[in-house]
Structure 1
Amino acid sequence: MNTFSEKQGTGSVEEFTVSDADAGPYALAEGPDGALWFTLVHRGAVARRDPDDGRVTVHPVGEGPTVIVPGPDGALWFTEYRTHRIGRITPGGDYASFAPLTPGGGPFGITAGPDGAVWFTLSAADRIGRVTMDGEVTEYPAPGAFPSALTTGPDGALWCTLNQGDAVGRLTTDGHGTAYPLPAEGAAPVGIAAGPDGALWFTEIGAGRIGRITVGGDITEYPLSDPAARPHAVTAGPDGALWFTEWGSGRVGRITVDGDVTAYALSRPDSEPHGIAVHDGALWCALETGSLARIEVRS
């Protein structure tokens, strides 16, 4: 475990209202069309923000859309947590969905895999699924309890957080799983992303820490200055650092690969930032209170 001082960021933060507060912007991703796509978890919709004029177009989908990612086929893929399906939408708005093999699995995390398929977690069923571009679904046991976020690692395996197992999991494309327990008690990890340093970085929402794990399983934890910050999602930024949302404090954080942390305050401490992604050279995060925030760091 490393210790450090946390600085207040001086970058530019802008917020854009994209829905009413009840719709719940949750996660977001840059699409192949250059637009910013985001889920509206409480409205049962996926929305597109035009990169030129900021106009928002809303597309109805299944209930509870959560995490969204660009797929290998030029479409956006997302999990439908409450309808227990995997959704797909093209940049033109054509929508389809696919049912996992396990009913009631609560799909949450999703990522484009190293094998040309899309992989997803079934958090309520302790399983990890795979769906091909033709809709063929396969499932494997997760290496621990409540698999949450999911990403492809630099080693060609799938890496996930095991929220209720206080661990990080690794799954090969043929279904072999390994769990790496975390040092922090009650870590409850959620977000995970591949870093620029060849390691995986993750958030510990229960312990108020950011974690790093090498592909060999070596773990380092960085405690945040606010133990109640509840870090949620994390992504690699265009600046060689990792960026994450602090759901409990209404801030966006940045951590270098050396462990130096900077925090950027949003307009409200109760803005509930969830997903975070790179778009148009800046960091964008979804605020469940109805806005998207854009953070551009001054050099």
Structure 2
Amino acid sequence: MSVTEYAIGVESDGPYGVVVAGGEVWTTLVHAGRIATRSGRVVDLDAAESRPSVIVDGPDDAVWFTRNGDDRVGRIGYDGVVSAVELAGAPYGLCVGPDGALWCTLMSADAIGRVTVDGEVSTYPIGTAGAFPAMIASYGGELWFTLNQGNAIGRMTTGGAVTTCPLPTEAAGPVGISAGPEAVWFVEIQADRVGRISVDGKIEEFPLPAGCKPHAVAAAADGGCWVTLWAAGALARLDAEGNITDQYDLGTGSEPHGLAIDGDWVWVALEKGSVAHIQP
């Protein structure tokens, strides 16, 4: 196993989300209003308070990302063209939906937003006030999202119909979510657990080290997942049965947030000012 770090900007820039797209590793600099790549390219969004957060590989030769601080969803084409679409409600989580559009959580609006690659915007209420929708993933032709303050997993059809699945553990604080081959994985930051929900609504929960505060999760092809342990400064690997098989120390104060799987490799954004490359 090897862990290699690449400095991105300065510590105060705060690398947050990460994605592998177009042959490059991209990360959002949440405190600086910039997007950067591992190879050294930096894109200034000319909006220091925009808080770029979650970033994904789009369906149109571009990366897309939420701008939580100024109510926009941004886009950077592989050709270098930068643009943004206005979408009120503090957009945060983001994914490519089953229909090829970009879907995002609107934390302050208790809604889910949809943006087409042509810039057409729609919003759908989740029907639960104060639920604070966080991360979102596409699975089985629907959108699945964590309700951080609602203590539940929500699922929405592309037509806007919502089903809510309450979590067994009270005040669990679900955040990250990721679709695997046969189920959807999520993390409970307040309960120090990883959860899994099947398409029929069955929920399982698996313990993590006490006080680790898991933040992001990425489903693996073998049915397991990777999880960033924010408070512990570490990365954990779980098998398909929910057992921790490996744990990698990323250093005190590293504050790992987003992660991305690239074949057998894993990339993690460390808010201390770098991205880490883990090669198991």
Q: Give the corresponding residue for 1:173.
A: 158
Instruction: Give the TM-score normalised by structure 2.
Output: 0.95
Q: Within 5 Å, give how 1:24-103 maps onto structure 2.
A: 24-31=14-21, 33-49=22-38, 55-61=39-45, 62=47, 63-100=50-87, 103=88
Match of 1:88, as an amino acid? R
CA contact (8 A) 2:56 2:65 kept: yes
1:294 equivalent to 2:277? Answer: yes
CA RMSD of aligned residues (A): 1.3
How many residues align? The count is: 275
4+ residue segments displaced more than 6 Å: none
Does residue 236 of structure 2 align to residue 253 of structure 1? yes
Distance in 2, Cα, partners of 1:270 & 1:263:
20
Separation (CA, whole Å) in 2 of partners of 1:238 and 1:115:
22
- The 3-state SS of whatever aligns with 2:11 is coil
Give the one of 132, 136, 158 matched to 1:146.
132
When residues 273 and 282 of structure 1 are mapped into structure 2, their CA distance, relative to the original with a 3 A threshold, is same
Deviations 1:111-132 (A, max 9, x none): 0010011101101110100011
Map of 1:141-220 to 2, 5 A cutoff?
141-144=125-128, 145-153=131-139, 155-196=140-181, 198-220=182-204
Higher RCO (CA-CA < 8 Å; seq separation 6+): 1
Structure 2 equivalent of residue 134 of structure 1: 118
Q: Of 111, 120, 136, which residue of structure 1 is paired with 2:104?
A: 120
User: How many Å separate the matches in 1 of 2:196 and 2:149?
Assistant: 18
CA contact (8 A) 1:237 1:283 kept: no
Question: How far apart are the structure 2 equivalents of 1:281 and 1:220?
Answer: 26
| 1:3 matched residue in structure 2 | none
Percent sequence identity over aligned pairs: 47
AA of the residue aligned to 1:89: I
Q: Would you say the 8 A contact 1:146–1:162 is kept in 2?
A: yes
Gaps of 5+ in 1: 1-10, 50-54
How much does 1:59 deviate? 0.1
Whole-angstrom distance in 2 between the partners of 1:75 and 1:26: 19
2:214 corresponding residue in structure 1: 231
Q: 1:160 to 1:121 in 2, by over 3 A?
A: same
- Check whether the contact 2:180–2:221 (CA below 8 A) recurs between aligned residues: no
**Which structure dedicates a bigger proportion of its chain to strand?**
2
Aligned-pair CA distance for 1:265: 3.2
